[in-house]
Amino acid sequence: MTAVRRRISLFTMKKMLSSKKEVLIAFALIAVTVGSGLLMQVLLQIREMRASQREAAAVVSMALDEIHSAFQEVRDVQDAAATRMAALPQRKQDRLEDLQLDLLMIVSADSPLPEGYVPELDTVVGDYVMDVRCASVCWQMMQDCRNSGHGLPMICSAYRTQEYQQFLFDNKVYDVLWEETNDRDKARELAARVVALPGTSEHQSGLAADIMDEVYPYLNEWQEHTDAQKWLMEHCTEYGFILRYPPGTSEITGIIYEPWHYRYVGEKFAKEIANRGITLEEYAAWRRGR
């Protein structure tokens, strides 16, 4: 059937085209038409290829951007870490200074502890506890005194709770009412001269201890003549303690001479206070004000 059709169409064309020249022109036109169709296809393919190349280039560019920003993020993190590292020594120093200044806290009638203040505690010996920063140091100081053969130091008061300080104060008021006056206000005023009001005793800070010599178990001025007190007064600063209420300073401290009450301030401050021969009040004021 195809061959017959072709013969018919050639016969038809021959009939339509009168000369050979016209036949050649017709074939040339057909060739040009078919050729331009192929050329169009090639051009379209080239266009598609270019389009997909552009797409690929765009994808690569986006990927490169992401890699670049990822590297930038890593660099930012590294820079921030380096800045933090550089600042670390100073921050550590500041923190140390804060902790040390905390050791210089004044607890007195004029400067009561914040309500609810409870230090982190550790055992000194038996039921006696102190601030964790000085409990074992206090024990070591007493042991070293004992081992040196100079006296028999014995702790008789360390950290006190608010409730216990209240109990001690109430007891003192009762004693005064019994022995000295019937006036309750007067009794409270007199009692406050001997026993600190709750919140105003250094014992509530956990940084103070009363230590006496076993051979003279009384808290009065004669305590200073015992071997234990002589040794402790000479060596306490090596352990970071000071004799908190020295003779002749009650005008400043508000407390009578107590040759048994030791206060922890840390070795550095204890030595500076002892070398200057001043009270904690004077030293803390100078230190905070400088």
| Catalytic residue list contains 238 | no
Q: Which among 109, 112, 246, 107 has a CA at the least distance from the CA of 189?
A: 109
The answer to the question of residue 108 lying near Zn ion (CB under 5 A) is no
Q: Are 267 and 238 in contact (CB under 8 A)?
A: yes
We find the least distance from the C-beta atom of residue 257 to Zn ion, in angstroms, to be 12
Q: Tell me the residue number closest to Zn ion, measured at CB.
A: 261
Written as one letter, the residue type at 1 is: M
Q: What Cα–Cα distance (Å) separates residue 87 from each residue in 76, 82, 96, 98?
A: 17, 9, 14, 17
Catalytic residue among 221, 258, 267, 282: 258
DSSP 8-state assignment for residue 125? E
The answer to the question of residue 282 lying near Zn ion (CB under 5 A) is no
Written as one letter, the residue type at 159 is: Y
We find the least distance from the C-beta atom of residue 78 to Zn ion, in angstroms, to be 54
Identify which of residues 172 and 261 has a Cβ nearer to Zn ion in the complex: 261
Helices (H), the chain: 2-16, 20-103, 135-147, 162-179, 184-194, 227-235, 250-253, 267-276, 280-289
Q: Are 240 and 267 in contact (CB under 8 A)?
A: yes
Identify which of residues 202 and 237 has a Cβ nearer to Zn ion in the complex: 202
Q: Which span (103-111, 219-227, 259-267, 272-280) binds Zn ion, by CB under 5 A?
A: 259-267
The answer to the question of residue 133 lying near Zn ion (CB under 5 A) is no
- Residue ranges in 182-241 that form contacts with Zn ion under rule CB under 5 A: 210
The answer to the question of residue 122 lying near Zn ion (CB under 5 A) is no
We find the least distance from the C-beta atom of residue 178 to Zn ion, in angstroms, to be 24
Q: Are 220 and 226 in contact (CB under 8 A)?
A: no
The answer to the question of residue 150 lying near Zn ion (CB under 5 A) is no
Total residues contacting Zn ion (rule CB under 5 A)? 2
Q: Which two tokens stand for residue 225?
A: 């003549």
Which of 138, 261, 270, 274 touches Zn ion by CB under 5 A? 261
What does the alpha-carbon distance between residue 137 and residue 143 come to, in Å, rounded to a whole number? Answer: 10
Identify which of residues 23 and 256 has a Cβ nearer to Zn ion in the complex: 256
Q: Are 269 and 104 in contact (CB under 8 A)?
A: yes
Identify which of residues 210 and 282 has a Cβ nearer to Zn ion in the complex: 210
The answer to the question of residue 172 lying near Zn ion (CB under 5 A) is no
Which residues belong to the active site?
A: 258
In the complex, which residues of this chain contact Zn ion (CB under 5 A)? 210, 261
